[in-house]
Amino acid sequence: MTIQQPTATDLGPALSATVMRETSRGVSAPLRRTSFKTVRRLLRTRMTPFALAILALFALMAVFANQVQRYDPINYQSYASANQGPSLEHWFGTDYLGRDTWSRLVHGSRISLFVGVISVGVGLILGVLVGVSAGYLGGKVDALLMRCTDAIWAFPALMLALAITSALGRGVVNSMIAIGIVGIPFYARLARASTLAAREFDYTLAARALGASTPRILARHILPNISAPLIVQASLGLGTAIITEASLSFLGVGVQPPTPSWGLELRTGYQYLELNPVVAIIPGVLIFLTVLAFNFLGDGLRTALDPRLARGS
């Protein structure tokens, strides 16, 4: 279920503009200068160190998958020892073809994290493009872009992702595109609202009066101001993307066998629930921990990047 914590922007574009106006007034300079303070604040937020630790762990696992694995996750098949529970030989047991579950999950982290990052990246970049254009250019362009974005947002995310992967063909790459497209409305709306606010700032107006070119204005004044809420949203979006990828793999249209992914292992676990319940439980735990970590991180970032606190410290 692609549930996000509701941000101000979810509660209506007008409200978000108000909020943005309120909170952004204090930020008149790019984030760079206050980044050290931000990081300190981030780390002081309760659960963030825990979140970062988990993410670091999984990232390391993904990067060093080949070293951490104990058997080849795809090619080592041992039919005689299929569907076994955890043992010293196989820490998480074996799957239906006798492959080592631990190794498959370790490699699965690669796919899951990779898919998460790329799809959020796709959604973010496209969403920012759409949102900033709409917010900055206004008028008919705004209306057209926002109507289309709203139309995409009207379809349940999973169904849209499913339709897109069915259209493009199954597999990792197309899943990433699908999840990315599905995420565009979130980032677009956010970017647009922030752009609308940033457009009215004194220094932006001044820059325009001085005849600065549009790209310069966008780069120096608009983008830095919208990055804070976008970063927060992206962090939460990573969790959502991972769950969506797992959902697509669970339905059979995401990652294809024999490539391992957490979602695919969960599907296998569901099919072999009685014989080998471990395979159904562990991938879910991993997904859960990852999403939890991203959510904590997002929450921490939100607190850390809140300019109201910036004024205080």
Between residue 90 and residue 109, which ones bind other proteins under the rule CB under 8 A?
96-98
* In the complex, minimum distance from the CB of residue 263 to other proteins, in angstroms, rounded to a whole number: 9
To which residue do tokens 């988990």 refer? 54
Q: The tokens of 67 are what?
A: 């070293």
Query: Is 184 among the residues that bind other proteins (CB under 8 A)?
Result: no
Binding mask 223-252 for other proteins (x = CB under 8 A): ----------------x---x--xx--xxx
Binding mask 107-126 for other proteins (x = CB under 8 A): --------------------
Pick one of 19, 31, 82, 207: the residue that binds other proteins (CB under 8 A): 82
Give the long-range contacts of residues 70-75, CB within 8 A, separation 24 or more.
70/100, 70/102, 70/103, 71/99, 71/100, 71/103, 72/103, 73/99, 73/100, 73/103, 73/104, 73/106, 73/107, 73/260, 74/99, 74/258, 74/259, 74/260
Pick one of 91, 292, 306, 307: the residue that binds other proteins (CB under 8 A): 292
Query: Is 309 among the residues that bind other proteins (CB under 8 A)?
Result: no
| Strand partners of residue 100 | 94
Query: Is 141 among the residues that bind other proteins (CB under 8 A)?
Result: no
Q: Which is nearer to other proteins, 213 or 271 (CB)?
A: 271
Q: Which is nearer to other proteins, 106 or 178 (CB)?
A: 178
Helix axes 101-137, 48-63, angle to 10 degrees: 120
* In the complex, minimum distance from the CB of residue 278 to other proteins, in angstroms, rounded to a whole number: 11
Binding segment for other proteins among 21-29, 61-69, 118-126, 156-164 (CB under 8 A)?
156-164
- Residues of this chain, 31-60, that bind other proteins according to CB under 8 A: 47
Query: Is 301 among the residues that bind other proteins (CB under 8 A)?
Result: no
DSSP for 94-158, please give it.
B-TTS-BHHHHHHHHHHHHHHHHHHHHHHHHHHHHHHHHHHHHH-HHHHHHHHHHHHHHHHS-HH
d(CA 293, CA 153): 26
Query: Is 22 among the residues that bind other proteins (CB under 8 A)?
Result: no
Nearest to 124 by CA among 11, 231, 242: 231
* In the complex, minimum distance from the CB of residue 227 to other proteins, in angstroms, rounded to a whole number: 24
* In the complex, minimum distance from the CB of residue 118 to other proteins, in angstroms, rounded to a whole number: 19
Residue type, 265: E
* In the complex, minimum distance from the CB of residue 58 to other proteins, in angstroms, rounded to a whole number: 14
Query: Is 139 among the residues that bind other proteins (CB under 8 A)?
Result: no
Pick one of 91, 126, 138, 170: the residue that binds other proteins (CB under 8 A): 170
